[in-house]
Amino acid sequence: MKKTHRLVFCALLSTFAVALSYVESLFPLPLPGARLGLGNAMVLLTLITMGGGAAALVALNDILASDHTPNLVVLITAGLGVMIGSVTFTGSLIAAGKLQGNAFVKKMRLTA
């Protein structure tokens, strides 16, 4: 997929996630705080089709575009997700470099 197509597809998924979250907030629910999480369906679709980085951007866009201010739990969860995701992404880059035989990555060793 070309870079432009990928960017447009990610923007469309972000738009759908925000729109579904907004539509979901219009319906009254019997229990406070009980939502279906339709915006999260777009995040999962993005994760499957485009990877973790794009899914993180769609989720961040969904959080920031919501009509209410994110509470402490949402901010802590998002921060932990970013930290865990960055460690995972770094490990993926190192593994890919080792598999391709890059000179810089070959010199790296784990010491116990």
Q: What is the pTM of this model?
A: 0.51
DSSP state of 5: H
Both structure tokens of 53:
């980085």
DSSP state of 30: S
The string of pLDDT tens digits covering residues 62-112 is: 777 766 677 787 778 777 777 877 787 778 777 887 788 776 666 666 665
Provide CB contacts within 8 A for 60, sequence distance 6+: 78
Within a 13 Å sphere around the CA of 80, how many CA atoms are in the beta-carbon half? 6
